[in-house]
Amino acid sequence: MEYYKNITTFEELYNTCTEQSTTIWQTAMEHEVDAAEISVEEFRAIVKKSLDAMKEAIRTGLKSREMSISGMCGDDCSRLQERFQTTGALFGKTFEKITTYALATIEENLRMGKIVACPTAGSCAIVPSVLVGAAEDLNIPKEEQINALITAGEIGRIVSNKVALAGAVAGCQAECGVASAMAAAALTQMRGGNVEEILNAAALALKNLLGLTCDPVCGLVEIPCVKRNPFLAIHAVTASELALAGIKSKIPPDEVIDALEQTGKLMSPLLKESSQAGLAKTRTALRLEKEFLK
């Protein structure tokens, strides 16, 4: 458990990787193995199980039009697929995959299907859609996909040392925002980015989502949660592209987390998963809530 006492910040992670000439995933894996007292093979099998579950959620979600219990969501993925079959996306096939995979996964969550909370159920589609969609088009081997997922997990773990990854604590910036940072890191890892570029990608993604509220309509993880997932998956890709171009976050990753924590504390409780303000109290949301309660 010495690792968790020592590496609690991104600066410490960067310094450790630099001193030991290791990648983020290697550093994280080594110490996870030591902490859990398991073999490398056992640890990677656990990560592979999560990766496989992500892919299964995508496959299942792409085929279904089943609506959620509320009846408000569930067929957006099918609608998007139908459009792309007749009119290709402006940004190409990878864009199509990432956006449809994101909707497929988050809609499986609404149907109570099997998903991987990464880091939460409401943000469960961002990491899988970016990692799986990009890996397919870039022909990334499964072992490298596992490495990328380990990297994503390490980003989430370090953020969680300071801020609880829950909309009720810090708004959706702590859920979809952190998921976007994790996805940006995973993608940058798969595309050959170094430690500094990976951390910059995470910081760029997260700092541009500070202040994102959690204001679910009817108190359900549906509106606006469903559509946030594909939007912030593409947001993660943008952060990765910038980082790989050598563009840095002028604010270091740890200070971005400090800002995330401060913003969460300053945010009104009405905008932190209570459904008492924001989108949740618009005229249409109130009508939907009335109909749902009937």
pLDDT digits (tens, 9 = 90+) for 185-194: 999 999 999 9
pLDDT tens column, 96-110: 999 999 999 999 999
Report whether pLDDT(138) > 50: yes
Domains of the chain: 2-293 (1.10.4100)
Of the chain, the percentage scoring pLDDT greater than 90 comes to 97
Answer yes or no: are the C-beta atoms of 105 and 57 closer than 8 Å.
yes
Q: What is the pTM of this model?
A: 0.97
Report whether pLDDT(288) > 90: yes
Mean pLDDT, residues 58-70: 97
Counting DSSP H helices and E strands in the chain, the numbers are 14, 0
DSSP 145-211: HHHHHHHHHHHHHHHHTTS-S-HHHH-GGGTHHHHHHHHHHHHHHHTT--HHHHHHHHHHHHHTTTT
Mean pLDDT, residues 202-224: 97
Answer yes or no: are the C-beta atoms of 1 and 35 closer than 8 Å.
yes
Tokens of 89: 């996306």
Helix (H) or strand (E) holding 38: none
Report whether pLDDT(2) > 80: no
User: How far, in Å, CA of 174 to CA of 166, rounded?
Assistant: 6
